[in-house]
């Protein structure tokens, strides 16, 4: 039996199995997709070998969607502490203030990602920060 190469294809495309992303075709059309072990699932309802071939051949582009944690996930963002912005951990509880952080793009999977982003964010809004 041959090996299923779908997980390796997903990795080459920079997405994880089950992660939602957008595919933009040369004609400008956009579709929401996920890669599963069975192939490319389009808009949650049908598999498309043709669209997968378009991606592989360079006739369509994969656009990663911003990551958003699920309720109960741990993530990282910023807070004001002693007059300076610092990186802090956050348990996502589906609270209103979290939506503001998501909208600004200030929620990160890892502490390292948040620390890498903090200098630019602090400079843009003119605040002091500490890593």
Domain range for residue 98? 74-125
Q: Identify whether 1 is part of a domain.
A: no
Q: Give the pLDDT score at 56.
A: 92
Is residue 124 predicted with pLDDT exceeding 90?
yes
- Is 51 a member of any domain? yes
* Number of domains the chain is built from: 2
Q: What is the largest CA-CA distance in the chain?
A: 62
8 A C-beta contact, residue 41 and residue 90? no
Quick: pLDDT tens for 97-106.
888 898 898 9
Predicted local distance difference test score (pLDDT) of residue 99? 86
d(CA 29, CA 71): 32
Question: Whole-angstrom Cα distance, residue 29 to residue 4?
Answer: 29
- Three-class DSSP category at 118: helix
Q: Which pLDDT score, from 0 to 100, does residue 90 have? A: 92
């Amino acid at each position: 039996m041959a090996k299923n190469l779908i997980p390796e294809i997903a990795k080459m495309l920079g997405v994880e199995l089950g992660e939602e992303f957008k595919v933009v075709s040369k004609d400008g059309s956009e579709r929401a997709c996920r890669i599963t072990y069975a192939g490319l699932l389009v808009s949650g309802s049908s598999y498309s070998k043709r669209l997968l071939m378009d991606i592989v051949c360079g006739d369509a582009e994969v656009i990663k969607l911003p990551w958003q944690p699920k309720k109960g996930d741990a993530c990282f963002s910023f807070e004001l502490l002693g007059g300076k912005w610092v990186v802090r951990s956050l348990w996502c509880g589906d609270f209103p203030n979290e939506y503001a952080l998501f909208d600004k793009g200030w929620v990160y999977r890892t502490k390292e990602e948040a620390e890498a982003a903090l200098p630019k964010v602090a400079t843009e809004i003119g605040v002091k920060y500490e890593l």
